[in-house]
Amino acid sequence: MSLTIEEKQEKLAECETSSDFYNLYTLIFKEEVPRTGLRSGNDEIDSIIDAIIDNKKIEEVKNPDGSTGERI
């Protein structure tokens, strides 16, 4: 889905719940938000907003092999 910057801003302003941000990301990029390794839900939504505004997908952060869940 191709949106202008104004449309993206409008849609972001309409997001109320956390799920709204995740759904908007899926709508725009046609894929789920990948693993970010971020511990805070706030921070993950920040990265979703940045991705939408910059029109750049979030790069998946892989958990290093042989280690427990990475927390950033």
Partner 1 sequence: MADAFKDSFKQFAGKKQEILSRLADTHEERIINTLKNLEDEIISDLTKLTDGGVKLNTQLAIKLRPNLKTLIEKNFLKEADSIVSEYDEIVKEYQRFIKPLPIPDRFKILTKPDLKVINDLKFLSFSGFEDMGNRFLDTIANEVYQSSVTGRPFNQMVKNIRGQINGVYQRSNETAINRLTDYIDKNRYSENAQIIQKVKNAREILHTKYASDILGNNMRRYASQIAQDSLMQFDGQFTLYKGKEAGITKYQYVGTNITTTRGFCRTHLNRIFTEEEARSLWQSTWRGKSGTDPFINRGGYRCRHSFILYDDDWFTEETDDNIKEQTKTNDKQRKDQAKNKTQSLVPNVAIGSLLNRGSDKVRKAYEDDFNSQLTDQQKNIVNKIEKPEIIKNGKKGYYSYIEKELSAELNAVDGYKGGKGVKSFVIAHEYGHHIDFSTSGQRFRAWSQDNEGFKKAIQKDKKKFKGKEINKGNNNIDYTINDTEALDEIFNDLATKNEVIMNSGSFQWTRKLTELREDGYGEVSDIIDALVKGRFRKNYSMWGHSMSYWKTAGSVETEIFANLFAIRHNKKAYDLAKKYIPNTVKEFEKRLLELERL
Per CB under 8 A, residues contacting partner 1 are: 5-6, 9, 12-13, 15-19, 22, 35-37, 39-45, 49, 53, 63-72
Cβ–Cβ < 8 Å for 22, 16:
no
What are the Cα distances from residue 21, in Å, to 3, 6, 61?
A: 15, 16, 19
DSSP 22: H
CB of 42 to partner 1, least distance (A): 5
If the CB atoms of residues 2 and 66 are measured against partner 1, the closer one turns out to be: 66
CB of 30 to partner 1, least distance (A): 18
